[in-house]
Copies of this chain bind each other. A is one copy, B any other.
Amino acid sequence: MNLNIREFSSNSDGFRAELESLLAWDSVSDAGVQKAVADIVEQVRLKGNDAVIEFTNRFDRRRVASSAELEISREELALAKDRVSAELVTSLEAAAKRVHDYHERQKQPSWQYQENDGTVLGQKVTPLDRVGVYVPGGKAAYPSSVLMNVMPAKVAGVGEIIMVVPTPDGLVSDIVLAAAYIAGVDRVFTIGGAQAVAALAYGTETIPKVDKIVGPGNIYVATAKKMVFGVVGIDMIAGPSEILVVCDGKTDPDWIAMDLFSQAEHDEDAQSILISPDLDFIKDVKASMERLIESQTRKEIIKASLEGRGAFIHVENMDEAMDIANIVAAEHLELSIDEPEKWVEKIRHAGAIFMGRHTPEALGDYCAGPNHVLPTSGTARFSSPLGVYDFQKRSSLIYCSPEGASELAKIASPLARGESLEAHAMSAEYRILKDS
């Protein structure tokens, strides 16, 4: 199949403008969606279960009569796991263990230190009490997403994890439920959409109010999450998924072609970019793609994604490739090159970095250990993969000795008066020792 993929060179005129137009992504939020979501959120906040049941029956074409029907018990999760093939269960368990072990290294301990005058300063780290995990339902069943969202919360020590998953027409994926069982989700409710987000944010008679909501969803879910932000915490709002492959031309072109496909097959908006200093290699990869796409089950999506948002970028050398990688700040950056451990030093911005020829993104998506929830659309410039740190929070500790307080008060008092905050100054001055 012929593929018409954008191809340009870093030494062409207007390269920077071309790069920016390639990366541009406008996530416009539709006024109609805003209005619909605001209404659903408000109904759920005011009417609780009644509204949740009404919206669930309407949008998911169900016939729920009482809120008890919305919950799937741990026993039912275990039964779902029994219905899944042994090979899949083994893979889920192996993936869960590796994700758990990696995230264990992200745990942050509380700390404190004492100053010479006896004053103690510190930082107390605590897990969130209760977290909601949104899992998309219906035809797209992603058990890996269950593991990646739940495991860091488990490792952080979150008290209770509530999963919501819509079951349109009553259909639910056994693999998703098996993943929930393996990950250790505490309670599962078969609700979705903006009504599920609102139920988690405000609580209903049946659905417990949570402190933070994570997990991917459609535009209604994303809009609802933004709307309840502040009432609860939320994770990042993800844009389309992207990969940037940097290859020196010495990896099998079929491997690189398939790595690019693995991103493109997600959806038409996904972005796959190859950067190489080797023009012949770019041609080889394109030939591999045109040959390999024929046998792909998702070839229409792959073609649309590659032709709409994909690109080959020819660069002068590897230094230039690293500079471009820092501009792109890709969600997934694959360094399919010699000595990636040397070149990675130059990378300042990326969600996850896949190093060497044997590290395709797909391994990270499922089971290498690091999280697959990553900052998209260049937001790696200022944000991080989902991690244990998203499920812990910090409280500052200050415990002044009488002597320490007295000295600090002498610093604070003029500053407070400089800000015309006299009560602050007096509150501090009360702690100045008489004989000091």
Binding site for B on A (CB under 8 A): 27, 85, 87-88, 91-92, 94-95, 98, 102, 105-106, 108, 111, 113, 119-121, 123-124, 126, 128-129, 141-144, 175, 211-212, 230, 232-233, 237, 252, 254-255, 258-259, 261-262, 264-266, 296-298, 302, 340-341, 344, 347-356, 358-371, 374-375, 377, 379-385, 387, 389, 393-402, 404-406, 408-409, 411-412, 414-416, 418-428, 430-431
Contacts and interface: CB of A to CB of B under 8 A. Distances in A.
A129 B327 CA distance: 11
Given A237-B230, A255-B430, A397 B91 contact: no
Given A265-B424, A358-B401, A426-B258, A415 B252 contact: no
Contacts of A350: 395
Given A85-B414, A121-B369, A297-B420, 10 more contacts: A91-B415, A143-B418, A262-B427, A340-B399, A352-B396, A355-B399, A358-B405, A358-B431, A363-B408, A368-B400
A421 B265 contact: yes
Contacts of A252: 430
A416 B362 contact: yes
Contacts of A397: 344, 352-353, 355, 370
Contact of A411 (B91, B421, B430): B91
Contacts of A113: 105
Given A296-B422, A381-B211, A422-B297, A124 B353 contact: yes
| Number of copies of this protein chain within its complex | 2
Which label, helix, strand, loop or mixed, suits the secondary structure of the A interface? Answer: mixed
9 contacts: A92-B415, A94-B411, A124-B353, A126-B348, A261-B426, A360-B427, A360-B428, A361-B427, A384-B394
A369 B120 CA distance: 11
A418 B302 contact: no
Nearest to A159: B348
Nearest to A345: B124
A6 B106 CA distance: 44
Given A347-B395, A358-B401, A382-B232, A88 B341 contact: no
A423 B341 contact: no
B230 A412 contact: no
B427 A259 contact: yes
A277 to B, nearest CB: 21
Contacts of A356: 399-400
A81 to B, nearest CB: 13
A431 B360 contact: yes
Nearest to A352: B396
Contacts of A401: 358
Contacts of A266: 421
Most buried by B among A348, A395, A420: A395
A396 B370 contact: yes
Given A379-B230, A385-B394, A415-B95, A428 B362 contact: yes
B298 A422 contact: yes
Contacts of A91: 411-412, 414-415, 418
Given A92-B415, A106-B123, A237-B230, A359 B405 contact: yes
Nearest to A27: B230
A195 to B, nearest CB: 21
B366 A415 contact: yes
Given A363-B400, A368-B400, A408-B363, A121 B144 contact: no
Nearest to A384: B394
Contacts of A360: 405, 427-428, 430-431
Nearest to A358: B405
A361 to B, nearest CB: 7
A367 to B, nearest CB: 4
Contacts of A366: 408, 411-412, 415-416, 424, 428
A37 to B, nearest CB: 15
B418 A88 contact: yes
A419 B382 contact: no
B363 A409 contact: yes
